[in-house]
Amino acid sequence: MGKKVTVVGAGFYGSTTAQRLAEYDIFETVVLTDIIEGKPQGIALDLGQSRAIEGFETKIVGVSTGPNGEGYEAIADSDVVVITAGLPRKPGMSRMDLLGVNAKIVRQVSQNIAKYAPDAVIIVVSNPLDEMTALTQIATGFPKQRVIGQAGVLDTARFTTFVADALGVPVRSVKTMTLGSHGETMVPVPSQCTVDGKPLAELMSAEKIDELVTRTRNGGAEIVGLLKTGSAYYAPSAAAARMAKAVAEDAGEVMPVCTWVSGEYGCSGVYLGVQAEIGAEGVRRVVETPLTAAESAALREAAEAVRSKQADVFDL
């Protein structure tokens, strides 16, 4: 049977994710859902009509859903479900300002996914990311490795772009790493960053690296400030779609993701941004890399910062 992926939420993030997934041409079906009547159907029709031009065959289905599971039959047998439902930030808001409102949306979406696509791997992108990922696992009751959050692929892509632009080198020459949370306690890991294999610290001053790290940490807010009416979605959707592809292809690719840690880096019992090997069952294993003492300490601090918020998230 061909692969099936569902994208919940047909806003900017969801519709661009659906487009990227469809254009990979590796899925038999992409299902796009939203609570708004007509929006997912319209986007699905439009996207489907691009097939003859772009040359892909993926079938795209748009479905409206209700709070009590109405419409959710369409997601049955999905191999992967990407949750993008929820409000985006407005200028001046932090991701945490979305906690209450998005928790209600994500909890209800998760309960319906558990009922209608009980074997899916879920990729969460709704913000605040670390909390919404933890909530999705609690609300679905899925094994922890089957619920993954998207943050690190995007954060590293931003960091990589800033480094490449600053040095005037192709983005493909640059490897960066960010761990921790998708927010204040994001932990960029300069010791693991290289340009054509050379340590970043040999090519850039510590001050310049710090400046790019700060810009990375505020990468989302910078775009929200410019757009004024929503948040970023081109790079975010590229990140989520790549993760869904790694699951669908059982790729074993190592990516920075938000996953459950059990002792890695001295952190346990919390959803945290770390590198992990991604396959058909979600996270196969967390991949640890050597960190400097300062980077390790920052990662443990990030774990503590998200732990308390994740603990209360189901009751919001």
The catalytic residues are 182
Per CB under 6 A, does 180 bind ligand APR?
no
Choosing from 5, 34, 117, 239, the residue that interacts with ligand APR (CB under 6 A) is 34
Choosing from 14, 62, 180, 279, the residue that interacts with ligand APR (CB under 6 A) is 14
- Nearest-Å Rg of the Cα atoms of the chain is 19
Q: How far is the CB of 83 from ligand APR (least distance, A)?
A: 9
Q: Which tokens in the block code for residue 198?
A: 């050379």
Which residues, in sequence order, are CB contacts of 64 under 8 Å at separation 6+?
Answer: 33, 34, 35, 36, 37, 38, 39, 40, 41, 71
Q: How far is the CB of 235 from ligand APR (least distance, A)?
A: 11
How far, in Å, CA of 38 to CA of 109, rounded? Answer: 19
How far, in Å, CA of 157 to CA of 147, rounded? Answer: 22
Q: How far is the CB of 109 from ligand APR (least distance, A)?
A: 5
Binding mask 276-295 for ligand APR (x = CB under 6 A): --------------------
Triad 200, 206, 210: Cα angle to 5° = 95
Taking CB under 6 A as the criterion, which residues in 235-274 touch ligand APR? 236
How far, in Å, CA of 300 to CA of 100, rounded? Answer: 26
Q: How far is the CB of 35 from ligand APR (least distance, A)?
A: 4
Per CB under 6 A, does 33 bind ligand APR?
yes
DSSP 189-228: -GGG-EETTEEGGGTS-HHHHHHHHHHHHTHHHHHHHHHS
Q: Which tokens in the block code for residue 34?
A: 């939203």
When the beta carbons of 42 and 280 are compared against ligand APR, the nearer one is 42
Per CB under 6 A, does 65 bind ligand APR?
yes
Count of other CB atoms within 10 angstroms of residue 104: 13
Taking CB under 6 A as the criterion, which residues in 92-121 touch ligand APR? 98, 102, 105, 108-109
Per CB under 6 A, does 35 bind ligand APR?
yes
Q: How far is the CB of 66 from ligand APR (least distance, A)?
A: 9
Taking CB under 6 A as the criterion, which residues in 218-237 touch ligand APR? 230-231, 233, 236
Choosing from 19, 58, 84, 259, the residue that interacts with ligand APR (CB under 6 A) is 84
Per CB under 6 A, does 125 bind ligand APR?
yes
Size of the site for ligand APR (CB under 6 A): 30
| Element housing 110 (H / E) | helix 99-116
Choosing from 9, 71, 188, 273, the residue that interacts with ligand APR (CB under 6 A) is 9
Candidates 256, 259, 253; CA nearest to 176 is: 256
Q: Is the peptide bond before 88 cis (omega within 30 degrees of 0)?
A: no
Nearest position to ligand APR, beta carbon: 11
Count of other CB atoms within 10 angstroms of residue 165: 12
Cβ atoms 96, 54 nearer than 8 A: no
Binding site for ligand APR (CB under 6 A): 8-14, 33-36, 65, 84-89, 98, 102, 105, 108-109, 125-127, 230-231, 233, 236
